[in-house]
Amino acid sequence: MAATLSNGLRVLDLYCCQGGAAAGYAAAGFEVTGVDIAPQPRYPYRFIQADAIAFAREHGAEFDFIHASPPCQLDSDCQRLQGNTHPDLIGPTRTALEATGRPFVIENVRGALPKLRNPTLLCGAMFSLRTYRHRYFEPGGGLTIPQPGHPAHTALQAKMG
């Protein structure tokens, strides 16, 4: 899937999974490269299978912007209830991103709020979507994100937003 217009900028999509975040960047004209430790055969843009933190350290400065979505299971309410253990990758990811000197965001769930620095809340309702799924974005590398208005939720929220 290629963007119809190129803005000439390259975005690195760390912990990319199948490319949910990348779609918006591609639509905005970014050339997107995704990195994930697991194979992602459905990722629709350039994909590199690698450790996200190691790749950011080695190649992050080659990109204009970096989006990182470290796995959220550690900070997810339903995963905590199940008693599963998961690595905490927010701090190590931030350290790697700060070393690149590039603007970045770290995206995660509400349970990660104590670890995120000055995050901005985004919710599907802010974009006229029919979902209330909240995600928090920590800006870094000189990037700032003003907090947009959050419309009232007008329907009951289901388990997955």
The tens digit of pLDDT for each residue in 36-58 reads 999 999 999 999 999 999 999 99
Print burial letters for 42-63: b (CB count within 10 Å at least 16), e (below 16): ebebebeeeebbebbbeebeeb
Condensed to tens digits (0 to 9), the pLDDT of residues 3-38 reads 457 899 999 999 999 998 899 999 999 999 999 999
What pTM was computed for the model?
0.85
Q: What is the mean pLDDT of residues 93-113?
A: 95
Three-state secondary structure call for residue 122: strand
**Residue ranges of domains in the chain:** 10-140
**Which pLDDT value is given to residue 72?**
73
Q: What is the pLDDT of residue 3?
A: 42
**Percentage of residues of the chain with pLDDT beyond 70:** 84
Report the CATH superfamily, name and number, of domain 10-140. Vaccinia Virus protein VP39 (3.40.50.150)
Question: What is the pLDDT, as a whole number, of residue 103?
Answer: 98
Q: Mean pLDDT, to the nearest integer, of 75-96?
A: 76
| Burial track 100-133 (b if 16+ CB lie within 10 A, e otherwise) | bebbbbbbbbebbeebbeebbebbebeeeeeebe
Starting at the edge strand found earlier in the chain, the sheet holding 134-140 runs 46-49, 31-36, 10-14, 65-68, 104-108, 134-140, 120-123
Structure tokens at 159: 């388990």
**76 pLDDT band (50/70/90 cuts)?**
low
**pLDDT at residue 145 tops 70:** yes
Q: Are 55 and 68 in contact (CB under 8 A)?
A: no
Neighbours of 37 (CB within 10 A): 14
Q: Is the predicted pLDDT of residue 110 greater than 90, yes or no?
A: no
pLDDT band at 67 (very low <50, low <70, confident <90, very high): very high
Distance CA 84, CA 76 (A): 11
Q: Report the C-alpha gap between 54 and 145 in whole angstroms.
A: 26
Burial class (CB in 10 A: 0-12, 13-18, 19+), 158: exposed
pLDDT at residue 108 above 50? yes
pLDDT at residue 111 tops 80: yes
Q: Above 80 in pLDDT, residue 2?
A: no
- Res 102: pLDDT: 98
Of the candidates 123, 124, 122, 118, the residue with the CA atom closest to the CA atom of residue 138: 118
Give the length of the chain.
161
